[in-house]
Amino acid sequence: MSGNKAVAYIEPGVVEVQTIAYPDLELHDGPGVDPRNVGRKCRHGAILKVLATNICGSDQHMVRGRTTAPADLVLGHEITGEVIETGPDVEFVNEGDVVSVPFNIACGRCRNCKERKTHICLNVNPARPGSAYGYVDMGGWVGGQAEYVMVPYADFNLLRFPDREQALDKLLDLAMLADIFPTGYHGCVSAGVGPGSSVYIAGAGPVGLAAAHSAQLLGAAVVIVGDLNEKRLAQARSFGCETVDLTRGSPQDQIEDLLGEPEVDAAVDAVGFEAKGHGKDSDEAPATVLNSLMEVARAGGALGIPGLYVTEDPRGVDADAQTGSLKLRLGLGWAKAHSFTTGQCPVMKYNRELSMAILNGRAQIAKAVNAQVLPLEDAPHGYAEFDKGASTKYVLDPHGAFDRFSTAL
Lowest mean pLDDT among 75-79, 265-269, 280-284: 280-284
Q: Can you spell out the DSSP letters for 150-195?
A: EESSHHHH-EE-S-HHHHHHTHHHHGGGGTHHHHHHHHHHHTT--T
Residues 6+ apart with CB under 8 A from 264: 197, 198, 199, 200, 224, 255, 296, 297, 298, 301
Hey, what long-range contacts does 317-322 have (CB within 8 A, 24 or more apart)?
317/283, 317/284, 317/285, 317/286, 321/273, 321/286
Q: How many CA atoms lie within 13 A of 225 on its CB side?
A: 35
Global confidence as pTM: 0.96
DSSP type of residue 271? S
Spell out the domains of the chain, with CATH numbers in brackets: 3-179+346-405 (3.90.180.10), 180-341 (3.40.50.720)
Mean pLDDT, range 40-59, rounded to an integer: 97
Q: Mean pLDDT for the chain? A: 96
Compute the residue count for the chain.
409
Confidence of residue 405 (pLDDT cuts 50, 70, 90): confident
DSSP type of residue 349? G
Look at residue 329 in the predicted model and tell me its pLDDT: 95
Burial pattern 275-309, b for ≥16 Cβ within 10 A else e, equals bbbbeeeeeebbbbbbbbbbbbbbeebbbbbbbbb
Q: Which of 233-242, 273-282, 400-409 has the highest mean pLDDT?
A: 233-242
Confidence of residue 409 (pLDDT cuts 50, 70, 90): very low
Mean pLDDT, range 217-244, rounded to an integer: 98
Q: Would you say 14 and 120 are in contact if contact means Cβ atoms under 8 Å apart? A: no
Look at residue 407 in the predicted model and tell me its pLDDT: 45
Mean pLDDT, range 23-41, rounded to an integer: 97
